[in-house]
Each structure stands twice: as structure tokens, then as C-alpha cells.
Structure 1
Amino acid sequence: MDFSEPFKLSGLLGRFSPDGKCLASCVQYRLIIRDVNTLQILQLYTCLDQIQYIEWSSDSLFILCAMYKRGIVQVWSLEQPDWHCKIDEGSAGLVASCWSPDGRHILNTTEFHLRITVWSLCTKSVSYIKYPKACQQGIAFTKDGRYMAVAERRDCKDFVSLFVCSNWQLLRHFDTETQDLFGIEWAPNGCVLAVWDTCLELWAIGPNQLITVFQYKILLYSLDGRLLSTYRAYEWSLGIKSIAWSPSSQFLAIGSYDEKVRILNHVTWKKITDFEHPATVVNTKTIVYKEVEKSSPIESERLSFPPTRALASSVFSTRSKYDISQVPVSFQYIKPVADRANPKMGIGMLAFSPDNCFLATKSDNIPNAVWIWDIQKLKLSVVLEQLCAIQSFQWDPRQPRLAVCTGNSKVYLWSPAGCVSVQVPTEGKAFCNALCKPLSTPSLQITFSTFNLAQALLVKT
């Protein structure tokens, strides 16, 4: 794999444009737009303050820069460099900003989630959505960009409002059978909305008495607000931790705190199977790739000159490769601490491949392993056992290829053809991490472009 020279970034703010032709990066208050093929600077913009968030419009013609501390959003145009827009939320403040699917409206969420303000770049009109709920994922757009769902909290009860994105008119408004709504997500076909409850909740039964109520509930609603199905796997224990729709909308994967992934079908919304994550794999048909380290064959004593830092990092650093382990294989298992909040247990990550053939998962109890399931056969296909804990993974949007980051200076790539470990050339110690995971140390980020495999950028904060 070839790498470019490193570029400075602030706060891991690097984004490929949706068409894969441009790369946006931020250094403090400067926004830099580069051509992906040549990495030459196309545009250089200066914002009013340090940039905290950037996002491309869907057509790659505009990019917004949010400065939450000042409550300001600035918008820049690639076609007309002299054109710019500034949105000031004033005393209402700003905690989140995003584009609408049409790329001509901006949705700003004010402090304390008092309202969502919809700003139009074309007509300069303003619309308001009241009572948005502060939850993990409170806004969801359909893939075709026609509808938007917003989670709301009114009079101590959860609601969902559906809006038409063309004119922002209210389409449906209904209450949900949740105690404390935690997130919403549309199926890729835009026909079903998944709503899930929080995993636990505290109830007051007296002036100084609290009890913990465990929740496991996911509800599926149609576009007209009808409740299609309710699914509960068990009771009296921690519930849902993560969910993921398959690209075909045929399956809904639910990751739970009991270290299982349950797969629901789109016809009856019943469970068709569940995937367990045991500490020992015994099935001989499962391939287990184990990362092993090896030393560089070149020794420093053979060189007639002292190596530079970059050369020492790239040549004399410890390399790694994959070996196929003989089944049965036992993995490192971490027993969660029961008396602490947010225990490290359950399925923390899961994602379907773009061709709908594979599902990648990670159990927080086994932090060094990535599990890859064959969806067509509904069985475990591959396990990647890493030397370090998995920080994140991401599928290539064009083919079944998975990139894995573990917090070191390597990128791990898996495909049905096999595994490879790629050393990222850096000066000094670096850490590989996925996009949108801020760190306070020099880092590397991995993200897939639409037309390119991947690009690694050195982050210096």
C-alpha cells in the first residue's frame, strides 16, 4: 500500500467528499480542500474560530464548518469560492449541526436540545422543530432523503415526528411504547423505523429510594406510524447495546449485553438465529487468523550511518503478520466488574458488509477479536485475533473488505481472499484509529473514499 506524506490535522477533522474527488481537512481555523488524486490544494478557507466539526453536502458542492463554542456555522462553496454563508444561533447556543439529504438545508440543534432550527440556503427561510430529545441518535433520514424522523420528549413521554424533507411539513406524529427512548434508525429501504429503549433506567419509589429497571425492547414502526412489531429477547437484565440494518433491509441485527447478536427477518420480525461469542472457538470450519509479531530482518549495526527517526520507525519497528490458528482456539476474556457503571460487556460494534454477505461484530468481553459471520449460511466464518484491543472497524463501501484499527501504527485488512497487516509510516509513536474518534495524542485515522481504498493522515494536535 502506498502512502502520501503526512498532513497536519486538528481534532481528526478529515473528510472525503461523497463523490470521492476531494478531501477536506482542518488545521485550527483553516479549512483545506485537496484533490484526492494529486493531493494538491484546491481551496483554502479561513473561519472565524477553531473548527470543531465539518460535513460535506450530499452533492459535494458545499461544506459546513461548525464552531460550537461560538454558536456559529460557516458554509463554503467549491464551485463559487467567493460565496460563503454564516449562521449565528446567538444566545440559543449550538451543540450539533448537520446537512439535510438535499444538501441545501442545515439543521442546527441548540443547547439543552430546546429546538432544531432548519436553515434554507436557497430561500433563506427558517423552520423550527421543538422538543427534540437528547439521546444517542435522535435524528434519522431515509436513504432516499424524502423523510426525516425526530425523537421527541414531551410531558415525560417519548414521541416520534416524521417530516417531509422537501417542505419540512409534519407527516406523522405518534407516541412510542418506550420508557426512555435511546435511538432511532431507518431501514435502508425507508419503509420501517427501528426505535429502541435504554438498557436500564432508575425509578424513584420514595424520597430516598431508587430502584433499577432493566429494559430490552425494540419497536418497529411503519411510515404511517403503525406499530409493526415489538421484540424482547429477555427480561431483568441489561438489554440492547447496538443495532445495524442490512443493506437489503432484510435483516436487523441487535447486539445485546449478553454477548449475543440476534437477527430478525423483515417478514415476520421474528428472530431467525442468534450469534454467540464464546471465549473458545471449537468449530473446525471456522478460520481463526492470529496476529503475530516479527522483527525486521535489517539490523542497525549493518548501516554505516545513523538512521533518521522516520527510517528507524519504518525499518526497525516491529512488523506483524497473520497465522492461521489450529482450532480449538481460546481468546482473552475480560470478566466485567459488576459494581461499576458502563461495564465492558456485550456487543459494542456490528456492521454489515455492502454486499449483504457478511456481518462484523465485536464483543467487549473479548476485546482483541473481530468476528465475521456469513449471512448467507448464518454461521461464523472468520475470527481475527489481534494483539491489541479493537478500537474500530469499517467496511469498504464498494466490496467486502474490512479495515480494522487497534490503536497502533498498523492497519489490518480482511477480505474473503485473506488478511494483511499494513505498516503505516510515521515518525515516533502513532496510533491508528477510525474517523470521528478524537484523541489528545498524535494519531492516525482511517476512512474509505468512494473510489479509493483508503488514505492515512497523520494527526498532530
Structure 2
Amino acid sequence: MLLGKYEQGLEILGIRNLLWYNTGDFFAALNSMDTITVFTSTTVRPVLQRQLPSALPLVIAYRVIVFQEIEQEGQMTFIVVSKAEAVAFPKVVCAKSASVMLQSGCGSYLCVKSENMPKCVFIYNSKTLKINSVVIMRNVVTSLAWHPKKVILSICTGIQAFGLWTPIGCFAVHIPGFQNVTDLLVKKIVWSATGNNFIVVGHKTAFIGIMTLTKNTHEEKRNSIG
């Protein structure tokens, strides 16, 4: 039975990605102009619409936390960008970078990566489409994956480490035991159904990791972002 019909219009020109909400009541579309539109599944009418921000002053004005990856002592780490650093989000031409939208397992968050800004990850509140955080990576994002049980987002860029975003902060996970940096360049993370384990997938190598979260770890990360 055909309940509704959706036709691409001027307001949603150039569909780059479509996503069903976990409840099945809504779906979201991302277009080539970096506009997110949420529709009802029955009437196919738009109920929410937001434009991806293109510069830091816009998001900082709304108290959005912006994390930026830097290299410190040869290792990946994250800093919180201040209001004084009013720079535009990096836009690069990358034919292999596709736009991505993923909803967290709990349904509270929506992560978005646009092919127009492939080094940036935007985190939204799924219900209101209010932007929560922005993560700026040094390299093009190759993969995003939500933890199935907790609000943890893995961010991979093809280096010997990967990022994890949570509502309390963003931090780096380094891959130990590899002398040559090309031995394992992390392409993506594949979570197990329980979220207790994950597979780190490289270009030529893969191995299984164990996710361990403690109260002290959360407190440390909370303090580290102020």
C-alpha cells in the first residue's frame, strides 16, 4: 500500500543521504546544499529543517562545543576551540567522500558528515535538530559508527588512531603495538551487538578491541573539557 509519495523539490535539491528515524515515524534527508530536512513518514511533510553551519562564529554563538583534532608530541588529541578562533570549517574536494547521516542507538542524537565538508562531523539533537557539537578532524573522515548501547560515536580518518565523541567530551584512542605507522591505518570501527567489543579495520589488518568504561574515565574526560 502506498501511503505517501515523496518527490525531490527545489527545497531539497540533490539528495545526498536519507535516514529513517529509529521509531519509523520520521525520515531525514540531506541535500547537496547541506540542508537537513525531517519529514513525517505518513504525510511526507517537512517538520524540521536546518542548514549545516559553515563557520565557527555561527555555532559558537549558540553555545555549541567545537572540538578540533591536533597533533601533540606525535599523537592525536583534541582541543576545544575558543570564540577567538573564528575560522571557516575546512572544505576540500574529495571524490571518495560521501555524505553520511546516522542516528544513535538511543535515538537522541544525529551525526552528519557532508561531502562538502568531509573533515567535519556535526552532532545534532534528533528531536529538535539543535546542533550540539562539531568535531573538526585533520584528515577526511572515512567512517562514522555509533556504539549500539551507549552514546559513543567512533570517528575514523585513516590514521593510526581514531576519535570517540560522547556528550561529555571527545578523545583519541591510539593503536598500540605497531612500530610502523602504515601497519594499521584505521579505516573504520565495527561495534559488536553488545558494544563490549569492536573490530578495528585497517587497509590490510584488523583486530578485536575491548570497550571498557569506568566512572573515573568519565570524570577525567569531563574535567579535561572544562
| Preserved contact between residue 393 and residue 404 of structure 1 (Cα < 8 Å) | yes
In 1: Cα distance, 2:205 partner to 2:175 partner: 15
Q: Any stretches of 5+ residues in structure 1 without a counterpart?
A: 1-223, 296-317, 337-342, 435-445
CA drift of 1:332 comes to 1.1
| Pairwise CA distance, 1:378 | 1.9
Structure 1 segment 37-56 matched on structure 2, within 5 A: none
Match runs of 1:25-174 below 5 Å? none
* Counterpart selection for 2:159 from 388, 401, 408: 408
Separation in 1, partners of 2:197, 2:166 = 13
Q: 1:447 to 1:259 in 2, by over 3 A?
A: same
| Aligned equivalent of 2:223 | none
Residue 275 and residue 329 in structure 1: after superposition, are their counterparts in 2 closer, same or farther (change >3 A)?
A: farther
Q: 2 CA distance for matches of 1:457 and 1:286?
A: 31
TM-superposed CA distance for 1:232, in Å, is 2.7
- Aligned partner of 1:288 in structure 2 is 66
Residue type matched to 1:323 in 2?
Answer: I
- Structure 2 alignment gaps of length 5 or more: 207-226
Matched, 1:257 2:11: no
Q: Is the Cα–Cα contact under 8 Å of residues 291 and 321 in structure 1 kept in the other structure?
A: yes
- In 1, distance between residues paired with 2:146 and 2:37? 20
| 1:353-406 Cα deviation digits (max 9, x unpaired) | 111111111111111110111123321110000111100101111122101100
User: Which consecutive segments of 4 or more residues in structure 1 shift more than 3 A?
Assistant: 457-461
- Residue 330 of structure 1: aligned partner: 88
Larger Rg: 1
Matched residue, 2:4: 228
CA positional deviation for 1:262: 1.3
Paired with 2:139 and 2:28, the residues of 1 have a C-alpha distance of 26
| Conserved? CA contact 1:344–1:365, under 8 Å | no
Q: TM-score, normalised by structure 2?
A: 0.77
The answer for the alignment partner of 2:134 in structure 1 is 383
2:10 counterpart letter in structure 1: Y
- Equivalent positions of 1:357-368 (< 5 A) are 357-368=108-119
- Paired residue for 2:191, among 438, 442, 448? 448
Report the TM-score, using the length of structure 1 for normalisation: 0.40
Identity across aligned pairs (percent)? 23
Q: Please tell me whether residue 272 in structure 1 is matched to residue 15 in structure 2.
A: no
Distance 2:201 2:164 in 1: 17
Distance 2:20 2:30 in 1: 11
SS of corresponding position for 2:193: coil
> Is contact 1:253-1:262 (8 Å) kept?
yes
Q: Who is 1:215 aligned against?
A: none
Aligned residues: 196
Is residue 2:144 matched to residue 1:371?
Answer: no
- For 1:420, the aligned partner's letter is F
- d(CA) in 2 for partners of 1:419 and 1:243? 26
SS at match of 2:118: coil
Equivalents in 2 of 1:391, 1:262: separation in Å? Answer: 24
How far residue 448 of structure 1 moved from its aligned partner, in angstroms, is 0.3
The CA RMSD over aligned residues, in Å, is 2.5
Q: Give the Cα–Cα distance (whole angstroms) in 2 for the partners of residues 335 and 460 of structure 1.
A: 28
